[in-house]
Structure 1
């Protein structure tokens, strides 16, 4: 089992990353940290295999954290998941040994491709002392093939996704919640919520937190500008 430390200062995004991590075989979310200081302290106490690293955090900069991890010689792999799309950030992350870089928002299939590719690489490195060229080439081809795949996440079915999508279309341009989709589709609120999160990760929907006068904020969704084009690849 590959032990993963999620580094993200937004608790909701962290939970989403954990949820999607659980959809990919062989991975376990073993911790969450919201700052560089917290990460470095955790790495001193426990061994992790992989970090899912955000760059923009309120109290920390993910690139500076990655540089410090390398300076300390901590043997851990890093996949960057960030809204930072400037070439300087991407180049710095890759030069500091990030095994992959995902720009938010991204489709779940892209994250799954990154994780599957990393799992194959990890398995190969653990099982063999030496590698030949064909084995290294196979890892590169595997990542490319998985990136182009449009498979659904584990636990998702095309039929249910189609039902959810019809309910989303029925809501039109208005903001809607998991409760709204549940009422329209007849699917349970929990299942509707899971699919809405999935559609958000695919880039089909956009999500906002709507704060009321009492209680916790409610997750509300709307169709992304290119959402209709993206969903056709899945349904």
Structure 2
């Protein structure tokens, strides 16, 4: 199990990171802090293997924290999850050895690829004490794409494909109630698959405000 610390001052982004992380097996969230100073205190007292780290934070920002970690905790790995997309911040982070860099906003698909790639590289490195150039080129430094059947808990590949087929029948936007009428899945189960497709960036949603009653969430396939 890979112990993960989320370092993020935006509560909404922190919750999203937490939610996405819970959908990938092999990772354990051990803490969530809002600035670099609190992160250093937490790391001092707890075993942490991976940081999901923002740049823009009070007290001690992400890049400053990264410098401290590289000196005092060199075995901790870092994935940047940040709105900082300027070349200077990216170059500084890469020079300090981050293993991936995700710019907000990001999809679950991109998040999952980053985590599974990291997980797979750890597994490969732990399998062998010595690697030759071919193994390094093909299995470490190449992009390891998460396999198609590596899905979140409760999402099954064949059912996911069936839901995709239902969506393909709609040339216009649709509501959850439209799909429920055509599917053998319960509304709760179907919502789980729709949420996954939206988080993966395959569909988008918006609230349709009616003249009376509650607004209805409608969906459309992303073009």
Normalising by structure 2, what TM-score?
0.73
Is the 1:53–1:82 contact (alpha carbons within 8 Å) kept by the matching residues of 2?
yes
Match of 1:202? Answer: 201
For 2:13 and 2:206, the matched residues in 1 are separated by 11
Structure 2: how far apart are the matches of 1:29 and 1:95? 26
Contact persistence 1:4–1:48 (CA under 8 A): yes
Provide the residue aligned with 1:136 in structure 2: 136
In the TM superposition, residue 129 of structure 1 has moved relative to its aligned partner by 2.5
> What is the rounded CA distance, in whole Å, between the counterparts of 1:103 and 1:126 in structure 2?
29
Larger displacement relative to structure 2 (55-64 or 181-190): 181-190
Q: Quick one: structure 1 residues 161 and 21, their matched pair in 2 at CA, closer, same or farther if it must change by over 3 Å?
A: farther
1:138: Cα distance to partner? 2.2
Residues matched between the structures, number: 204
List per-residue Cα deviations over 1:34-53 (Å, max 9, x = no partner): 11111101100111111111
Is the 1:7–1:33 contact (alpha carbons within 8 Å) kept by the matching residues of 2? yes
Q: Bigger radius of gyration, 1 or 2?
A: 2
Alignment of 1:204-223 (within 5 A): 204-205=203-204
Could you say which structure has the higher helix fraction? 1
Superposed counterparts of 1:70-219, under 5 Å: 70-140=70-140, 143=143, 146=145, 153-154=151-152, 155-156=154-155, 157-160=160-163, 169-170=173-174, 182=176, 185-186=179-180, 188=187, 192=191, 195-196=194-195, 199-200=198-199, 202=201, 204-205=203-204
Match status 1:228 vs 2:222: yes
Q: Which portions of structure 1, spanning 4 or more consecutive aligned residues, are displaced by more than 6 angstroms? A: 149-152, 220-224
Relative to the length of structure 1, the TM-score reads: 0.69
3-state SS, counterpart of residue 129 of structure 1: coil
Could you say what secondary structure the match of 1:71 adopts? helix
Measured in 2, the distance between the counterparts of 1:34 and 1:159 equals 41
SS in 1 for 2:24: coil
- CA 1:153–1:11 in structure 2 vs 1: closer, same or farther (change >3 Å)? farther
Q: What is the root-mean-square deviation of aligned Cα atoms in Å?
A: 3.5
